[in-house]
Amino acid sequence: MTQPIRYKRNIEQNGITQQAQEKLFNARVLVMGAGGLGSGVIMNLAALGVGQIKIIDGDIIEESNFNRQIIHKYRNIGRAKVISAKDWVQEYNPDIKVELDKIKINELNYFNIIQGYDIIIDCFDSYESKYMLNEIAIRHKKILIHGATQGFCGQVTTIAPDKTGCLECVMQKPKNIKETVLASLSPVVNTISALQAQEALKVITGIGSPLLNKLLVFDGLTSEFKTLNYSKNPACSACSMTNIY
Ligand SMILES: [Zn+2]
Q: How confident is the model over 119-147, as pLDDT tens digits?
A: 999 999 999 999 999 999 999 999 999 99
2 inside domain: no
User: How many Å lie between the centroid of ligand 1 and the Cα of residue 72?
Assistant: 34
What is the domain range of residue 92?
Answer: 8-244
Ligand 1 geometric centre to CA of 159 (Å): 9
Helices of type H across 93-183: 111-114, 127-139, 167-170
Q: 215 C-alpha to center of ligand 1: Å?
A: 13
Q: Is residue 242 pLDDT above 60, yes or no?
A: no
Specify the number of domains making up the chain.
1
Residue 155 CA to ligand 1 centre (angstroms)? 17
Q: What is the pLDDT of residues 2-53, one digit of tens each?
A: 567 999 988 877 789 999 999 999 999 999 999 999 999 999 999 999 999 9
Distance between CA atoms of 71 and 43, rounded to whole angstroms? 7
- Give distance in angstroms: CA of 22 to centre of ligand 1: 33
Distance, C-alpha 51 to centroid of its chain: 16
Q: Does 121 map to a domain? A: yes
Residue 139 within a domain: yes
Half-sphere exposure of 174 (CA within 13 A, CB side): 9
What's the chain's average pLDDT? 93
CA of 60 to the centre of ligand 1 (A): 33
CA–centroid distance, residue 53 to ligand 1 (Å): 27
| 1 assigned to some structural domain | no
Residue 95 included in any domain: yes
For residues 132 and 127, what is the distance between their CA atoms, to the nearest angstrom? 8
**Taking 50 as the threshold, does the pLDDT of residue 243 lie above it?**
no
In whole angstroms, give the CA distance from residue 191 to residue 12: 24
Task: Classify residue 35: in a domain, yes or no.
Answer: yes
Q: Cα of 171 to ligand 1 centre, how many Å?
A: 9
Tell whether the torsion through CA atoms of 184, 188, 191 and 192 is positive or negative.
Answer: negative
Distance 238 CA to ligand 1 centre (A): 5
Give the tens place of pLDDT for each residue, 104-118.
999 999 999 999 999
Confidence of residue 163 (pLDDT cuts 50, 70, 90): very high
Residue 216 resides in a domain: yes
| pTM given for the model | 0.95
Find the radius of gyration of the CA atoms of the chain: 17
Which residues lie at CB < 5 A from ion ligand 1?
A: 165-166, 168-169, 236, 238-239
Distance (Å, whole) CA 159 – CA 142 = 9
CATH code assigned at 238: 3.40.50.720
Chain length of the chain: 245
Residue 3 falls within a domain, yes or no? no
